[in-house]
Amino acid sequence: MKIAIPVTGGALSAHFGHCEQFDIFDVDLDGKKITSRQSLTPPPHEPGILPQWLSGLQVELVIAGGMGQRAQQLFAQNNIDLIVGAADNTPQELIEQYMNNRLQTGTNICDH
C-alpha cells in the first residue's frame, strides 16, 4: 500500500494544501513494515491538482491533519482514501501507528 503524508518542518502539516512536501511510504501491512519512503515536493498549490498528482503516484491513502470538504471530494473522485484529524507527529510515527491500528484522530482542523 502507498500512503502519503503532507509534511511541514519535518512533521505532519496542519493543512495538506500548504505543505512543504509529501512523504510517500510503501508499506507492507501484513508484515507491518515500511518498505520504502520518499519525500517529494508537490506542484504549486491550485484547486484540484494535489489529488491528481498523488493519484498519478499510485497513492491509495492520505493521512492529514486538516482538509476542506472540496478537497475530500476530489480525493474520493481519484479513488484515494483519507484519514483526517491526525495529530501533529512525525510521518514515520503516523505510519507506524496506522500499521498497528493505533492511529488516533480528532477534529478535522480545516473548515473550508
Domain of residue 45, CATH code: 3.30.420.130
- Do the domain assignments include residue 57? yes
Q: In the predicted model, is pLDDT for residue 21 greater than 50?
A: yes
- Do the domain assignments include residue 84? yes
Each as own residue / partner, the long-range contacts of residues 89-92 (CB below 8 Å, 24 or more positions apart, any chain) are 89/11, 89/12, 90/10, 90/11, 90/12, 91/5, 91/7, 91/11, 91/12, 91/23, 91/25, 91/37, 92/34, 92/37
pTM for this model (two decimals): 0.92
Each residue of 47-80: pLDDT tens digit? Answer: 889 999 999 999 999 999 888 888 899 999 999 9
- Do the domain assignments include residue 112? no
- Do the domain assignments include residue 109? no
Residue 12's nearest CA partner among 58, 74, 66 is 66
- Do the domain assignments include residue 108? no
Which residues constitute the domain of residue 33?
2-99
- Do the domain assignments include residue 73? yes
Cell numbers 493521512 label which residue?
Answer: 63
- Do the domain assignments include residue 34? yes
- Do the domain assignments include residue 56? yes
